[in-house]
Chains A and B, each alone.
Chain A
Amino acid sequence: MPGLGARLGRGGATTPLQDLANSDCVVIMGANMAENHPVGFRFVVQARERGATVIHVDPRFTRTSALSDVHVPLRAGSDMVFLGALINYVLQNRLYFEEYVKRYTNAPVIVGGEFRDTEDLAGLFSGYNPDERRYDPHSWRFAGQESSPALSDDPNQDAQAYNQRVGRTDHPLRTDPSLEDPRCVFQVVKRHFARYTPEMVERLCGVPTALFLSVAEAITKNSGADRTTSFAYAVAWTQHTTGTQMISCCAILQLLLGNIGRPGGGIMALRGHATIQGSTDIPTLYNLLPGYLPMPSTAERHATLASYLDAVRAPTGWWHNAPKYAVSLLKAYYGESAQEANDFAYDLLPKIGGDYSFQPMLLMMKDRALTGLFCMGQNPAVGGQNARLAREALAKLDWLVVRDIVETESATFWRDSPEVRDGSVRPEEIGTEIFVLPAALTPEKDGSYTNTQRLVQWHDKAVEPPGDARSEAWFVVDLARRLKDLYGEETTPAARQLAALSWYYPTDARGEPDLDAVVAEINGYAVADGTLVPGYDALRADGSTACGCWIYSGIMPEPGRNLARQRAGDARAALDWGFAWPANRRVLYNRASARPDGTPWSERKRWVWWDAGEGRWTGHDVPDFPVTKPPDYRPRDGAEGMDAHSGDAPFVMLADGKGQLYAAVGLRDGPLPTHYEPWETPVANRLYPDQERSPTAKLLERPDNPYHRPRDPRFPHVLTTYRLTEHHTAGAMSRFVPWLAELQPEGFAEIDPVLAARLQVSSRDPIVISTLRGEIETNALVTSRLQPLQVDGRPLHQVGLPWHYGFGGIATGAIANDLAALIEDPNSFIHEGKSFTCAVRAGRLDGRGDATQEGEGSP
C-alpha cells in the first residue's frame, strides 16, 4: 500500500476494526464492507447505533448501502474527482484542523523552485519522460534539499520500500508556519485541488451537487478536536491504474481533517482476503523482503551490502535503523553462513532485474520465459486478469504444481476450459505436466492470520487433515530439504544459496514442522545463545542477532509464549487480544491523538498522552512514539535517526516525522493525486483534457491483451467486477461447497432496469458481455440497485459482474476475468478490474435466443 506508506509512513491500516465503533462518521468508499468484511462491519453497525453517520460511496447499492445512512452512487473510476473535491471543499471553506495541519503535517514546508504542477503543465508534473512513461522526481524536491530524493531509479523496484527517504534532508527544511508562502505545501495543495469543484463531481462522477455537499458537510462536521471521521476502503480503490493515488488522496483528506492517529479516525485499509496483510508483511511479493525492506536489485546501488544498507538507511526517522533489520534478516536466512567477513552472505540473496509481479509473469509464461509454476492457494485460470490468456500461459508451461483444497480450474483447464469445450483448443495439444497436491484446510493445521488491521491471530489445529493433505509449512519445509539434497554436490550460485540456507525446523511424526520454531525465528533471537529478543529495539547490525521479520519482533518474547494466541478482549485497544505489529500498537501514529503539548485534544477523544509527572507517554494504547521523548523536545543540528525528530512529529517512519500532504518521493505518478480516467473509459477527462489517462500506468498491450481506446463506441458501458458474501475470491473455498454454492449458484451480471428494457431482457435471461479480450455469456440480474448515471451530460450504464465463477465445482458460471485486461498501476502493479469498458447484448454466445443488438450511440 504505497499510497498510505508515502503519506503516513507505513503501508497498513492505521486503526483497528474495533476502533470504527468510536467514529462519529464512517465513510466507506471503494469497499463493500458488509458483504466482503461482514465480521468487521459489526463495528460500523455499532458506530451507527451510537449515533454515527455512515456514508457509502459506491457505484452499486449493496448490502453495505442497505445499512448506511446514505448511499452515494458514483461512476466507477471517478473516485479521485470526489475525493479531490472533498479536499477542495475543506480548504476553500477553511474547515481543516488548523493546529494539527500546522504541527503534524508538512503543510508549512517550502517546495523547491523547479517543481511544476499539473495545473502548470496541462495534467503532467515536471520531470516527465514520455518515452519511458516515467517521472524523474528530482524537480519535486523541497526547497534547499541538496541530496536528490532517493526514489528507486529501477522501475521494477517497489516504490513503497523507498518511502523512508521522504523528505530526506541535509539540514532542516525551509518552512512558513503561517502557511502563506505561495510555494509552501499548503498553498501548492490548495492550488492543485482548486479545479475539483462540486460541479465537476456532478459532471464526472454523476453525483448531484446537493448530495456531494451533504457528504462534505457530514465529514467536516464530524472532524475536529472532539469528533473524528474514519474512512474504510478495499480493493475497489486499489484496482485502478490510479489506485495508489486514490488511497493517498484519502490520506491527504484525513490529514487535513486531523483524523489520523486518533480514536474513531484513520484509514481502514480493508484487505482483499484473509492474511493478505500478512502476505505483504512477510511478503509473497517479488520486490520486498520481510518488514518492508526493499528487495535488492541488480542496480549498481545494491551491488554490495554496504551500498544496499546505505540505500535503505534513512539519515533521519525510524528507517535509520534499517541496517539492523537487514543484517538480522540475513542472519536468519543464512545462519552460520552469514558472517561479517562475507558481508553476511549478501551476495547469496537473489537480486531482481525486472518486473516479476503477477501480470508480467503470465506473459512470461505464455512467451516461455518461465516454464514451471507452483500455484499454491491461487487459481489464475479464473482469478487472473485476461483469464483466457492466463490459461493459455498455463498451457505453455512444462510443469505446474497446483496445491489446493480442491481440484481448481488451474488444474483442470486442459480438459474442461471454455476453449476446450468449444473445440478451439484440444487437450492433446497441451504439454503441461500438472501435479495436483492436496492441501490442508485452516482447521487442519496450526498457523496464523494477519488480518486487515495488522493483527496477528493464531489458530490451532482442530482435526488432522484427511489422506495426503498437508499444511503449507510441511510442503515448503520438505521441498527446501529435498532441494538442498538435490543440489548438495553442486557449486553453482543456486546451489550455494540452497546450501547456505539455514533450515533447522524440527518436525513431528507426520513431518509437520514445529511452528513455534518459525515464530521464534520471526521474533528474533541472540545468535550467541538463542535467547529470544523482547522486540526490534534489541536487534543489531553486527550479526549478533537474527530476525525473520523485524516488524513482528516481540510476538514471542519468551519461548512458547506466542502473543498471537492471546484472547483477552476489552472495550478500548484490546492489547491482550492477538499481537499487532509494530510492537502491539493498535492505532498507528497515536502521538497525534494528543495536542502538540502532549495533552488530549479532548476528553472524548483521549487515547495517548504525555504524563509529565512520570516523564513518559501513556494511554489506552502502546504509544507509537519514543516513550520518553517530551513533547517540547527539539533536535540539535545534525541529529540522526529518531533524535532528528521533534517531540511533535507523530509520523515516526518518515524522515521529517510529518504527514506528507505533498510527497516529494515515494509515488511514481506524482507528489499529489491527480484524476486520470481509467485506461478504458466512455467519458472525457474534463479536468485534464490534454492528459486524459495516467501518464505512468504500466501498459502491457499486445495482440493477445488489447485495450479499448477512450470513448470507443463499440464498448459504451462501464464494467466493474466484485465479490459476493457467499463466495470467496476465485471460488476454490466456496463454489465447491454445497452449502455455499446453493446461496449464489450461478454466475450473473447486474444491470440497471433502463439498460434491461433497452436490451429487452429480464432477470435470468442470457446476455453476452464482450470486450476485445473476450466474450462471456451469463445471466442478467436486473435490479434498481444499479441506476443509470448522468455523466458529462449523457446517461451512463454500469454493468456489475461478480468474478468468482468458473467451470469447476458446483456453483459455476462464465469467467468474468476473461473480459479484463492486463495493465498496472505504476506503484503497486495492480490491475484495473474495477473500471473498464464493455458491450452487452441479449442472447447467447452461440447466437441462439433473441439477440437484441444495442444500437450504437443510442442513449
Chain B
Amino acid sequence: MTLSTSDRSPLTGTTGARAGALGFLTDVSLCIGCKACEVACKQWNQLPADSGTGITGLTGFSYDNTVDLGATTWRHVAFVEQAATTVDRTWEAPGAPGSPTAWLMLSDVCKHCVHAGCLEACPTGAIVRTEFDTVVIQQDVCNGCGYCVPACPFGVPQLGDTDRKAHKCTLCYDRLVDGLEPACAKACPTESIRFGPIAELLPRALDRVEQLQERGVAGAHLYGDRAIGGTGGMEGLNALFVLTAPPEVFNLPAAPELPQRKVLPALVSTAIAAVAFILGSGAALRGRR
C-alpha cells in the first residue's frame, strides 16, 4: 500500500464518529515500549496474566512476550525491529552513518469502531454501544457463542479460557462514568497514549502527522479515519493511531472491512453457483442419455 495515494483520498481526516464520542490517540513516534499501559490495564481491570493461553515463556519475538490482544490482554505493545533504511530519522548531520536498526513500538487496543463488527454480529445483545460511543461486552448477557470473534477485522474480542465469554477493552467504562481517564492513558509516561473526545483527538492527530512529515518522517500517517483503518463500512475508529510505517508493519490491516458486508455478495455468489451447478448437472445428465 502506498500512503501517498491514501493521503490524497477525500476521506482522509474524516470519521463518522458520533458527537461526543470518546476515544484514544496512540502515537507510535512517542512510544518507549515500557508496557505500563499493559500492566495498568490488567491491574485496573483485574485481568490475569496470559499463562492460561499457552504463552508461558520467552517468545523470542523482540521484547514482545504477550504476543497479541486477547481475552486477558486488552492493551498490547508490538515491537518491530527494522533496518534503519526503511525509517526516517531526523538526525541533522547529513551523510552521518545511521544507526544499524530502528525499533518501533506501538500499543494496540480495541478500536471501538464507529460501526463495530462485533456488535453487529452479537446475537444476544451482550455487546452494546455506550453513552461515550464506545463498545462494551456485557459478560452477564454473553452466551459465549463467539460470533464476535471472527466479526472483528482486527482480531480483538476473544473468548476467555475460564468463563468462555467474550472479553475485550471496555475503554475503562467504569472509570469514564466517574470522570477518570482510562488506566492505560493515565499510566503512559510519554503521552504516546492520549484520551479524549474524538473531535479533539482527530485534529491533533492530523497536526501531528503534518509535524512529523515536516521533520522528514515521510511515512507518518493517520490510521483510523475513513481513508485508512476505518474503512470497509466501519466509518472510522474511535481509537486513532499515528503511525510512522505502513499499518501492516504493526499487524494492522490497511483496508479492513466489516465481514458483514460480505454476507450479501456471498449469498448472491452462492446462489449463482447453485444455479450454475443445477443447470450444469442437468445438462450433463441430459447429455448422458
Which A residues have a C-beta under 8 Å from some C-beta of B? 34-35, 38-39, 41-42, 45, 53, 61, 63-67, 69-71, 73, 208, 210-211, 214, 217-218, 724-726, 738-746, 748, 762-764, 779, 781, 783-785, 787, 810
Closest Cβ–Cβ distance, residue A22 to chain B (whole Å): 17
**In B35-81, which residues have CB < 8 Å from any A CB?**
35-36, 38-39, 42-43, 48-51, 55-63, 65-66, 81
Q: What is the chain B residue whose CB lies nearest that of A725?
A: B34
State whether the Cβ of B139 lies closer than 8 Å to any Cβ in chain A. no
State whether the Cβ of B91 lies closer than 8 Å to any Cβ in chain A. yes
- Residues of the B chain whose Cβ atoms lie less than 8 Å from the Cβ of A764: 57-60
A252 to B81, CA, bound (A): 37
A65 to B105, CA, bound (A): 12
- Residues of the B chain whose Cβ atoms lie less than 8 Å from the Cβ of A726: 35, 63
Stretch at the interface among B93-101, B154-162, B194-202, B262-270: B93-101
State whether the Cβ of B277 lies closer than 8 Å to any Cβ in chain A. no
Q: Knowing A65-B99, A214-B96 touch, does A738 contact B51 (C-beta < 8 A)?
A: yes
Q: What is the chain B residue whose CB lies nearest that of A33?
A: B32
Contact check: which of B51, B65, B90 meets A743 at CB < 8 Å?
B65
Q: Are A784 and B101 in contact (CB under 8 A)?
A: yes
A787 to B33, CA, bound (A): 21
Q: Are A73 and B102 in contact (CB under 8 A)?
A: no
Chain B CB within 10 Å, residue with most, of A210, A739, A762, A763 = A739
A785 to B104, CA, bound (A): 12
Q: Are B50 and A742 in contact (CB under 8 A)?
A: yes
Q: Knowing A45-B190, A66-B103, A66-B105 touch, does A739 contact B60 (C-beta < 8 A)?
A: no
Sample (28) of A-B pairs whose CB atoms are under 8 Å apart:
A34-B34, A39-B189, A42-B191, A53-B91, A61-B100, A63-B105, A67-B30, A67-B190, A69-B92, A70-B89, A70-B98, A73-B99, A210-B96, A211-B96, A214-B96, A724-B63, A725-B34, A739-B43, A743-B35, A743-B39, A763-B60, A763-B61, A764-B58, A781-B58, A783-B81, A784-B101, A785-B101, A787-B100
A739 to B44, CA, bound (A): 12
Q: Are B49 and A742 in contact (CB under 8 A)?
A: yes
Q: Are B190 and A741 in contact (CB under 8 A)?
A: no
Q: Are B58 and A70 in contact (CB under 8 A)?
A: no
Contact check: which of B32, B95, B100, B189 meets A73 at CB < 8 Å?
B100
Q: Are B93 and A66 in contact (CB under 8 A)?
A: no
Q: Are B100 and A38 in contact (CB under 8 A)?
A: no
A67 to B96, CA, bound (A): 18
- Residues of the A chain whose Cβ atoms lie less than 8 Å from the Cβ of B95: 210
Q: Are A69 and B101 in contact (CB under 8 A)?
A: no
Closest Cβ–Cβ distance, residue B67 to chain A (whole Å): 10
Q: Are B48 and A779 in contact (CB under 8 A)?
A: no
User: Interface size (B, Cβ < 8 Å)?
Assistant: 46
Q: Are B51 and A742 in contact (CB under 8 A)?
A: yes
Q: What is the chain B residue whose CB lies nearest that of A48?
A: B90
Q: Knowing A38-B36, A739-B42 touch, does A66 contact B91 (C-beta < 8 A)?
A: no
Q: Are A66 and B58 in contact (CB under 8 A)?
A: no
A746 to B59, CA, bound (A): 9
- Residues of the A chain whose Cβ atoms lie less than 8 Å from the Cβ of B48: 738
Q: Are B97 and A211 in contact (CB under 8 A)?
A: yes
Q: Are B49 and A741 in contact (CB under 8 A)?
A: yes
A78 to B57, CA, bound (A): 35
Contact check: which of B36, B66, B92 meets A742 at CB < 8 Å?
B66
Q: Are A38 and B32 in contact (CB under 8 A)?
A: yes
Q: Knowing A63-B32, A70-B91, A739-B39 touch, does A208 contact B66 (C-beta < 8 A)?
A: no
Q: What is the chain B residue whose CB lies nearest that of A44?
A: B190
Closest Cβ–Cβ distance, residue A766 to chain B (whole Å): 11
Q: Are B97 and A746 in contact (CB under 8 A)?
A: no
- Residues of the B chain whose Cβ atoms lie less than 8 Å from the Cβ of A218: 92-93
Q: What is the chain A residue whose CB lies nearest that of B87?
A: A66
Q: What is the chain B residue whose CB lies nearest that of A221?
A: B92
Q: Are A781 and B35 in contact (CB under 8 A)?
A: no
- Residues of the B chain whose Cβ atoms lie less than 8 Å from the Cβ of A785: 81, 100-101, 103
A217 to B91, CA, bound (A): 12
A724 to B55, CA, bound (A): 20
Q: Are A743 and B38 in contact (CB under 8 A)?
A: yes
Interface digits, B113-140 against A, CB 8 Å rule (1 contact, 0 not)? 0000000000000000000000000000
Closest Cβ–Cβ distance, residue A24 to chain B (whole Å): 12
Q: What is the chain B residue whose CB lies nearest that of A73?
A: B100
- Residues of the A chain whose Cβ atoms lie less than 8 Å from the Cβ of B58: 744-746, 748, 764, 779, 781
Chain B CB within 10 Å, residue with most, of A724, A743, A781, A784 = A743
Q: Are B56 and A745 in contact (CB under 8 A)?
A: yes
- Residues of the A chain whose Cβ atoms lie less than 8 Å from the Cβ of B60: 762-764, 779, 781
A744 to B79, CA, bound (A): 13
Q: Are A214 and B63 in contact (CB under 8 A)?
A: no
Q: Are B57 and A746 in contact (CB under 8 A)?
A: yes
Q: Knowing A738-B48, A739-B39, A742-B50 touch, does A45 contact B96 (C-beta < 8 A)?
A: no
A787 to B100, CA, bound (A): 7
Question: A61-B101, A61-B103, A744-B63 known; 5 other A-B pairs, CB under 8 Å?
Answer: A64-B32, A69-B91, A779-B60, A781-B58, A810-B49
A69 to B32, CA, bound (A): 14
- Residues of the A chain whose Cβ atoms lie less than 8 Å from the Cβ of B104: 66
A774 to B284, CA, bound (A): 79
Instruction: Please list the 7 inter-chain residue pairs (A to B) with the smallest Cβ-Cβ separation, ordered nearest first.
Output: A763-B60, A738-B49, A214-B93, A71-B99, A66-B103, A214-B96, A34-B32
Q: Are A739 and B34 in contact (CB under 8 A)?
A: no
- Residues of the A chain whose Cβ atoms lie less than 8 Å from the Cβ of B96: 70, 210-211, 214
Q: Are B51 and A63 in contact (CB under 8 A)?
A: no
Q: Are B100 and A210 in contact (CB under 8 A)?
A: no
A301 to B165, CA, bound (A): 76
Q: Are B50 and A208 in contact (CB under 8 A)?
A: no
- Residues of the B chain whose Cβ atoms lie less than 8 Å from the Cβ of A781: 58, 60
Closest Cβ–Cβ distance, residue A244 to chain B (whole Å): 29
Q: Are A53 and B65 in contact (CB under 8 A)?
A: no
A724 to B35, CA, bound (A): 11
- Residues of the B chain whose Cβ atoms lie less than 8 Å from the Cβ of A214: 91, 93, 96
A67 to B32, CA, bound (A): 7
- Residues of the B chain whose Cβ atoms lie less than 8 Å from the Cβ of A208: 97
Q: Are A784 and B99 in contact (CB under 8 A)?
A: no
Q: What is the chain B residue whose CB lies nearest that of A782?
A: B60
A763 to B65, CA, bound (A): 13
A748 to B91, CA, bound (A): 32
Q: Are B65 and A744 in contact (CB under 8 A)?
A: yes
Interface digits, B1-45 against A, CB 8 Å rule (1 contact, 0 not)? 000000000000000000000000000001011111011001100
Closest Cβ–Cβ distance, residue B43 to chain A (whole Å): 6
Q: What is the chain A residue whose CB lies nearest that of B104?
A: A66
Closest Cβ–Cβ distance, residue A48 to chain B (whole Å): 9
A764 to B62, CA, bound (A): 11
A454 to B50, CA, bound (A): 39
Closest Cβ–Cβ distance, residue A52 to chain B (whole Å): 11
Q: Are B97 and A63 in contact (CB under 8 A)?
A: no
Closest Cβ–Cβ distance, residue A225 to chain B (whole Å): 21
- Residues of the B chain whose Cβ atoms lie less than 8 Å from the Cβ of A217: 93
Q: What is the chain B residue whose CB lies nearest that of A778?
A: B58
Chain A CB within 10 Å, residue with most, of B35, B51, B59, B93 = B93
Q: Are A53 and B92 in contact (CB under 8 A)?
A: yes
Q: Are A784 and B35 in contact (CB under 8 A)?
A: no
- Residues of the B chain whose Cβ atoms lie less than 8 Å from the Cβ of A53: 91-92
A38 to B35, CA, bound (A): 10
Q: Are A61 and B99 in contact (CB under 8 A)?
A: yes
Closest Cβ–Cβ distance, residue A235 to chain B (whole Å): 19
A218 to B189, CA, bound (A): 27
Q: Are A784 and B100 in contact (CB under 8 A)?
A: yes
A42 to B36, CA, bound (A): 13
Q: Are B100 and A42 in contact (CB under 8 A)?
A: no
Q: Knowing A38-B189, A785-B103 touch, does A739 contact B93 (C-beta < 8 A)?
A: no
Closest Cβ–Cβ distance, residue A86 to chain B (whole Å): 15
A66 to B31, CA, bound (A): 9
- Residues of the A chain whose Cβ atoms lie less than 8 Å from the Cβ of B30: 45, 67
Q: Are A42 and B91 in contact (CB under 8 A)?
A: no
Closest Cβ–Cβ distance, residue A193 to chain B (whole Å): 23
A726 to B95, CA, bound (A): 36
